[in-house]
Chains A and B, each alone.
Chain A
Amino acid sequence: MTAPPILKVEGLKKYFPVEKGFLRRVVGQVKAVDGVSLEIGAGETLGLVGESGSGKTTVGRCILRALDPTEGSIQFQIDDDVSVDMARINRRELRALRRYANMIFQDPYYSLDPRWTVLDIVGEPLKLAKLADGAELEERVARLMEVVGLEAKHLRRYPHAFSGGQRQRIGVARALATNPRLIIADEPVSALDVSTQAQILNLLSDLQGEFGLAYLFIAHDLSVVEHISDRVAVMYVGKLVEIAPKDQLFFFPKHPYTEALLSAVPTPDPDVEKKRIILPGEIANPADPPAGCYFHPRCQYAQARCREEEPALREVSPGQWASCHFADELALVGAPR
């Protein structure tokens, strides 16, 4: 990628204070996101994968400033030659930038206000950005509905009249309304059933081709991001453990955690022999992470060094970064070809 990335996140941290007692003394920090750096090019899809509790949703929300990051910079290229640091601008400036990026949510039931009609819901970003109003708004929303595969005549319906998949399409239409450059899709298909998942994934990649969108596609398993991502980042307890172009990550993983996630991806071919890696224990507590490599208590390759020294994220092969002391030595099993 020669063009500058449209999103460049560096050293992003988000700590939530742990308060205790009547006076709300801060007794600790939950390091939900602890130094994440990533880039997304124009029209590119970066898949962000991790277990629940890994901080992937927090990353997405910090980038769009639904949450205020504790530390780090978020360079966002809103135009070909204008770049802003989303982490540093104030609320008023932020409101003016809202039209350049938007979000698709996981739960299609909670993401649409039950008291609003589809016209109001999809039109809200346009109205708030003062891009359209009245008959023009109605027309644009009608066209958006057709773009996402819904009938324009259903504009005056309320969300309760739609199925889960249709609701998610409404959410996509809302995200598209202001012609953003970047869409953060926060597990957009996790709440849908499998046939609907495929439809929404196809819709998202069609839209990407049509409008040149960049996606940060957040998911909790690799099988979903496989089809849509150009590159994939894997998160564990607030940190990236591996980030690489999709094929490289799928076929030549360099981090044991990625290997374990890959072993959980179902294969359609019943003849392929697979060894499923079952990770022992739970994901580490981000308020009290283990010493050394956060992953070592669950890692089958862990050695003494892993318990003491925290590995840095380093470039193992061109474009492929992993944070494992033994990334060069281990022969990890990728996805079956």
Chain B
Amino acid sequence: MAQAETVRSSLAESLASETAGDSIEYLSRGKLIRRRFWRHRLARLGLPVLVALYLMAIFADFIAPYPAHTRLKGFKDAPPSVIHFGMDGNPFQPYIYARERSFHPKTFREIYTEEEDEKYPIHFFVRGEPYWIMGLFKLDLHLFGVDEDTNITLFGTDSVSRDLFSRTVIAARVSLFVGLGGVAISFVLGCLIGGVSGYFGGIIDEVIQRIIDLLIAIPTLPLFMALSAAIPREWPVAHTYFAITMVLSIVGWTGLARVVRGKLLSLRDLDFVVASRLAGGSDLYIIWRHLLPNFASHLIVTMTLAIPGMILGETALSFIGLGMQEPGISWGVLLEDTKNFGALVHQPWKLIPALFIIVTILMFNFVGDGLRDAADPYSL
């Protein structure tokens, strides 16, 4: 008895002294993955940018000075506002000039000139149009704004005088979350079908794999087009959005199903799984405690790398008019305004939503790359 007591106390002591330091021997696989991930420079850039983008999308109504569909009278096709600093004795106070619209005598294109004697300071945390936060609270606070006599248009305006900055920020909600939603549905489908395929094997596996082959063989864009052409035009925005997400994931699940199946097959016969079975572990216990933790990291990588495809898919559909429809807006919808060539030449600011798409896709790919390198900390 006394001996057991001393064993216990010395054990507790040594454990306390050993776990105190965070030497590499004590890092769990999760911690190793995080370490490796942070060593990937581009991923280290990508993650904060993505977080910022998603925060922007979540708090879009607060960041945007105007609602998405408000027309700013007298500001059709206006270029971005130029921000100046230094006003009322404060060298950091930003302000804009009022702008006067005139028309080119021959082309009748709008020309905007700054009225240097009319300065409007940019105020922060101003009251403006009310909006709902997550459908719960009504709020009318906006990040910034100017007095009502003029308008601030950071990214310029579109052909019907709507503020492109507000619209870009608000459209991010659809564009960014369509990827997450699509991947979430793909994830469920992929895990389920891939799991069944890998677990049961035999003829079920064979049939499922051939169906996946078939789905992959169909060119993506025509399939997207065919499916989304079937979405009724009179559906409300929320329904359309959900339908588009479904369309995207119908193609997206195949890759995930393959990953799940492959991982199940390769892990199923590993010695530590056999050992667990020999110790008396049931199938469900083994899948839950051994298999899932070991391929979760690979799943996350595949999912991260699947999101850009979904975002691009939605953008392409919306751009050709088969995806989101006004009044629902996404970055693809905003880009519809650039369809005519004149817009690109004379109003290049209308391409700003495309920049957001490019940055988002790049960052997702960086993060995905970083995750892929980090997913298996033992492979070198």
SS of B interface (majority): helix
Q: Which of A95, A114, A153 has a CB less than 8 Å from the CB of B378?
A: A114
- Tell yes or no: B220 within 8 A of A by CB: no
What is the minimal beta-carbon distance from A215 to any residue of chain B, in angstroms? 16
B278 near A98 (CB under 8 angstroms)?
yes
B276 near A114 (CB under 8 angstroms)?
no
- Tell yes or no: A154 within 8 A of B by CB: yes
Would you give 28 A-B contacts (Cβ < 8 Å), ordered by A? A22-B206, A23-B203, A24-B203, A61-B274, A64-B278, A98-B279, A99-B280, A102-B279, A105-B271, A105-B275, A107-B271, A113-B276, A113-B293, A121-B272, A125-B280, A128-B281, A128-B285, A129-B280, A139-B4, A139-B8, A153-B14, A156-B15, A157-B25, A157-B26, A158-B28, A158-B29, A160-B32, A161-B26
- Tell yes or no: B18 within 8 A of A by CB: yes
* Interface hits, A198-227 → B, CB 8 Å: none
A139 near B281 (CB under 8 angstroms)?
no
* Interface hits, B263-279 → A, CB 8 Å: 270-272, 274-279
Question: In the complex, A105 Cα to B272 Cα: how many Å?
Answer: 9
Known contacts A110-B270, A153-B14; decide if A66 and B277 are in contact (CB<8 Å).
yes
Q: Which of A117, A124, A152, A174 has a CB less than 8 Å from the CB of B11?
A: A152
- Tell yes or no: B19 within 8 A of A by CB: yes
- Tell yes or no: A142 within 8 A of B by CB: yes
Question: In the complex, A121 Cα to B14 Cα: how many Å?
Answer: 20
Question: In the complex, A111 Cα to B275 Cα: how many Å?
Answer: 7
B274 near A66 (CB under 8 angstroms)?
yes
B278 near A143 (CB under 8 angstroms)?
no
Contacts of A160 in B (CB 8 A): 29, 32, 377-378
Contacts of B161 in A (CB 8 A): none
Which residues does A use to contact B, with CB under 8 Å?
22-24, 61, 64, 66, 95-96, 98-99, 102-103, 105-107, 110-115, 117, 121, 124-125, 128-129, 135, 138-139, 142-143, 152-158, 160-161, 171, 174
Contacts of B27 in A (CB 8 A): 158
Contacts of A152 in B (CB 8 A): 11, 14
A174 near B275 (CB under 8 angstroms)?
yes
A111 near B278 (CB under 8 angstroms)?
no
Instruction: List 7 A-B pairs, minimum CB-CB distance, nearest first.
Output: A161-B25, A153-B14, A111-B271, A125-B279, A98-B280, A128-B280, A105-B271
What is the minimal beta-carbon distance from A63 to any residue of chain B, in angstroms? 11
Which among B18, B28, B275 has the highest number of chain A CB atoms within 10 Å? B275
Known contacts A22-B206, A155-B15; decide if A112 and B272 are in contact (CB<8 Å).
yes
Which residues does B use to contact A, with CB under 8 Å?
4, 7-8, 11, 14-15, 17-19, 24-29, 32, 202-203, 206, 270-272, 274-282, 285, 290, 293-294, 377-378
Contacts of B19 in A (CB 8 A): 156
Q: Contacts A113-B272, A157-B26 known; list 4 others, CB within 8 Å.
A: A113-B294, A125-B279, A142-B7, A142-B11
The residue of chain A having its C-beta at the shortest distance from the C-beta of B275 within the complex is: A111
A139 near B11 (CB under 8 angstroms)?
yes
B29 near A114 (CB under 8 angstroms)?
yes
Contacts of A154 in B (CB 8 A): 18, 25
Question: In the complex, A139 Cα to B3 Cα: how many Å?
Answer: 12
Contacts of B24 in A (CB 8 A): 161
Contacts of B17 in A (CB 8 A): 153
Known contacts A139-B7, A153-B14, A157-B25; decide if A105 and B280 are in contact (CB<8 Å).
no
A114 near B294 (CB under 8 angstroms)?
yes
Contacts of B285 in A (CB 8 A): 128
Contacts of A124 in B (CB 8 A): 275-276, 279, 281
